[in-house]
Structure 1
Amino acid sequence: MRTKNDHFIPASNKLEPHLWVNQYADYLFAYACLRVEDKELAKDLVQETFLGALERLEKFKGLCSEKTWLTAILKNKIFDVYRKRSSGLNGQSLSIANGLEIGEFFDGETGHWNKQHYPASFAIEQPDTLQNKEFHSLLQSCMKKFPPLWVSAFTMKHIDGESTETICSELNLTPSNFWVIMHRSKVQLRSYLQKNWI
């Protein structure tokens, strides 16, 4: 007889911790590498994910797959890294290249690029540029030049697809600070790609 605290876990969603390393380690490692750009840290995060999952076995309700559940745990650990890297940085001045002000690049009313600073075409014919290894490598090189707070915010927004509200909450940013970071990181990214990709 089940009590009200028992959770029904479908047979297809039962946990099998003894298989996690073989089934999910490579996927989780690749997921972490894309977001933290440090292979040793990524390995540590995957190990911490497995340990954290073992400590929370009783919390798994079977509403998602093991892979999804483990990825969610890893994602929270990556957010912890972002918070640690960005703590104390959100009060710093957010300078951009060549001393130009953000208003020189963007229209104050619409937020769109001003015509004289409109990005040049990248002449890319592939439909999914992020899958292009050369482009990805160039993107990572550019992002290494960003302050840690920018990297965290940019990755959460444009790689993980997180909402502005989540990013602001996780990184302790105001919405206006977040949008300044996004605009300035895009300006630097555009400049870097135009010099090195086109």
Structure 2
Amino acid sequence: MSKEASISNPPILDPETWVDNYGNYLYNFALGRLRNRENAQNVVQETFLAALSARKNFSGKSTERTWLIGILKHKIIDAMRKSYREKPITDVKSDEEAIDQFFDRKTHMAKNMPSAWRLNPKEILENKEFWDTFKKCQEKLPQSARDAFTLREIEKISGKEICAILNITPSNFWVLLHRARLQLRQCLELNWFKDQENL
């Protein structure tokens, strides 16, 4: 097909099949980030409505599903922003408590310091059991720390934008992110790495 033909014939979207083809995937994607069924359902509905309104802007450079996920990500961020505007984070003081668990009073390493992971990183990332454990560990994080971690490490959003979304200062953001990383590491060590190293 020539360049002119692709410009004159924009890709065809089929909104009537969106719910059947992508509804469950989008819902699970949203639920994994919002941890609330009603909010996940709402953002998926908003995604379909926004996509319907913006379908003339679909260029066909991505698949229909990828395009819908892009819209959904923005709706999830809007929902988080609204949630944190209505109920600001109040549990962030300092990261001293998180750091204290790894040092004793004389600033020597404590016994519960994270251990070195001796397994091959590539093999870890390809292991389904690891990801199942990771998701369970992530779900145990406090909501604000989980959101900070998800937005930064999974969605790759800038710290400045995350501060605006979560309605927090940069120092609070870094405390939340630090705590999330420490807690995830500790949870993974207890629930996955220990078992793997004993095999």
TM-score (norm 1): 0.70
The residue number in structure 1 matching 2:59 is 62
The whole-number CA distance in structure 2 between the counterparts of 1:184 and 1:70 is 32
The whole-number CA distance in structure 2 between the counterparts of 1:61 and 1:14 is 9
CA contact (8 A) 1:82 1:149 kept: no
- Cα distance change, pair 146–64 in 1 and its aligned pair in 2 (3 A): same
Question: Is 1:188–2:186 an aligned residue pair?
Answer: no
CA contact (8 A) 1:83 1:171 kept: yes
- Cα distance change, pair 40–126 in 1 and its aligned pair in 2 (3 A): farther
Q: Deviations over 1:2-35 (max 9, x none)?
A: xxxxxx9663534332232344334423432432
CA contact (8 A) 1:24 1:67 kept: yes
The whole-number CA distance in structure 1 between the counterparts of 2:101 and 2:94 is 13
Question: Is 1:74–2:72 an aligned residue pair?
Answer: yes
Write the mapping of 1:9-48 to structure 2, written as runs, cut at 5 A: 11-38=9-36, 41-48=39-46
SS at match of 1:24: helix
TM-fit CA distance, 1:155: 0.8
The whole-number CA distance in structure 1 between the counterparts of 2:88 and 2:123 is 33
TM-fit CA distance, 1:179: 0.7
The residue number in structure 2 matching 1:91 is 90
Which has a greater percent of helix?
2
The whole-number CA distance in structure 1 between the counterparts of 2:123 and 2:47 is 30
The residue number in structure 2 matching 1:3 is none
The whole-number CA distance in structure 2 between the counterparts of 1:163 and 1:57 is 28
The whole-number CA distance in structure 1 between the counterparts of 2:165 and 2:116 is 34
TM-fit CA distance, 1:104: 6.7
Percent identity between the two aligned chains: 39
TM-fit CA distance, 1:167: 1.2
TM-fit CA distance, 1:178: 0.8
- Cα distance change, pair 40–101 in 1 and its aligned pair in 2 (3 A): closer
The whole-number CA distance in structure 2 between the counterparts of 1:119 and 1:126 is 16
The whole-number CA distance in structure 2 between the counterparts of 1:40 and 1:135 is 28
- More off after superposition, 81-90 vs 179-188: 81-90
How large is the RMSD of aligned CA atoms in angstroms?
3.3
CA contact (8 A) 2:84 2:167 kept: no
The residue number in structure 1 matching 2:137 is 142
Q: Deviations over 1:46-99 (max 9, x none)?
A: 2331122223345x2527433333222211121133234444343333477xx8
SS at match of 1:120: coil
- Cα distance change, pair 159–128 in 1 and its aligned pair in 2 (3 A): farther
- Cα distance change, pair 166–93 in 1 and its aligned pair in 2 (3 A): closer
TM-score (norm 2): 0.70
The whole-number CA distance in structure 1 between the counterparts of 2:102 and 2:11 is 50
The residue number in structure 2 matching 1:111 is none
The whole-number CA distance in structure 2 between the counterparts of 1:172 and 1:10 is 44
- Cα distance change, pair 166–64 in 1 and its aligned pair in 2 (3 A): farther
Task: Name the count of aligned residue pairs.
Answer: 181
- Cα distance change, pair 133–94 in 1 and its aligned pair in 2 (3 A): farther
